[in-house]
Structure 1
Amino acid sequence: MSLFVVRHQHAAETCPARDPRMGAMLLDHLSPANAERFGIRIHGDGVLDGQHTLYLILDAPSEGRVNEFMQPFAQAGSLEVWPASACETVVERGGCG
């Protein structure tokens, strides 16, 4: 498993949380049980207030699997996926690079 940071952003006009049905569907998609079906473990999520920007930290077998899992969000706006490392790993290897 590898660590990834994901950023999804959408326009205020198309915010899925405004639609109760769409919001419920996205929460269900981000549930631990559903993420597990993709081989993914979500460590945390956060939405920047007023920014329409979601960040996720997760473990996944590959970046491709992350992109597959995040397709519902990619359809609603932009999606960026970055390989990441835990702080402890960075310190152990002697730097961020």
Structure 2
Amino acid sequence: MPVKALYDYDFPSADRVENFGDDQLVYVHWLGNPLFCSAAAFRAPRDIPFGTFLTEIVWPWAGSDPDFDPSQVAGWQLFDEQLTPDDGASLTDLGIGHKALLKFRTE
């Protein structure tokens, strides 16, 4: 349902890419996990290697589920497209931009 403001609303979004310098926001969603019912947002450097992004940012978050096993992660998606990540490639090199949504499943 649309909302009509009663006045001029001129407030730029606080999560604009220019507010993050060399960093960006990346959303990560563990599909099918009832403990994580929605995506989590992480601030990460654009040039961080994907493998480092996983081990330093995503795995500690996912590890809050006692059943998490990184070796069971499969089926990466960037938005709704399949993604075959290279652990040495940066987020930018993989096309993972500001406010991108990464999804994964576990086997």
Same fold? TM cut 0.5: no
Higher helix proportion (structure 1 or 2): 1
Specify the structure having the higher radius of gyration (Cα): 2
Higher strand proportion (structure 1 or 2): 1
Greater RCO between the two (CA within 8 Å, min separation 6)? Answer: 1
TM-score normalised per structure 2: 0.30
TM-score normalised per structure 1: 0.32
